[in-house]
Amino acid sequence: MLWISGLMGFTVLLIIASGFYLHSAEQAEGVASKFQKQWLKHILGFNALLFIGSFLALTLLATQQVFAEPVAIAASKPMEMTMGAGLVFLGIALPTIFAVLAAAYAVAAIGTAALAVIAEKPETFGRSLIFMGLAEGIAIYGLVLSILMLDKI
């Protein structure tokens, strides 16, 4: 299982190195050649497939290893999960879900407007950054509400 984790790390490093190579090639020549772009596209696709395959293999192997451990089963008491408990946990997750969706919408709207304003008036960068932070705070409010609700179980 350790070699799969190493393979995943190696693919991430290769993707980062490919990005640096493409960036340096564009800086040196202005635009990378068509062959370099095609070659890099194939390499990045291979790395992405290798990463996804490694991730799936690691997930399957880790799941099998956890389920095969008799100590883990004996040490923990099995918790009974009923339909009511599942609905309670779903209800606790809803504030976070809606808050994150609202924050994403707000950040998208504010970010678009902020980029347009900063392009014309660069001195408004600090003010627009504050507005972006306030919009992202909406997600934190939903998370805090869910944590408070979890405490009541």
Q: Where are the beta strands (DSSP E) in 91-142?
A: none
Confidence of residue 45 (pLDDT cuts 50, 70, 90): confident
How far apart (Å, rounded) are the C-alpha atoms in residues 14 and 8? 10
pTM: predicted TM-score of the whole model, two decimal places: 0.47
| Token pair in block for residue 44 | 């990045």
Look at residue 101 in the predicted model and tell me its pLDDT.
Answer: 92
Residue type, 54: S
Selected residue with higher pLDDT from 44 and 68: 44
C-alpha count within 13 angstroms, C-beta hemisphere, residue 59 = 6
How far apart (Å, rounded) are the C-alpha atoms in residues 41 and 33? 12
- 28 pLDDT above the threshold of 80: no
If you search the block for the tokens 């990045």, which residue do you land on?
44
How far apart (Å, rounded) are the C-alpha atoms in residues 117 and 128? 8
Domain range summary for the chain, segments of one domain joined by +: 2-75, 83-151
For the beta carbon of residue 105, count every other beta carbon within 10 angstroms.
Answer: 12
| Token pair in block for residue 118 | 């900063």
Top CATH class, 83-151:
mainly alpha
Mean pLDDT of 79-84: 69
Q: What is the pLDDT of residues 107-144, one digit of tens each?
A: 999 999 999 999 999 899 999 989 999 988 888 998 99
pLDDT, mean over the chain: 77
How far apart (Å, rounded) are the C-alpha atoms in residues 90 and 84? 10
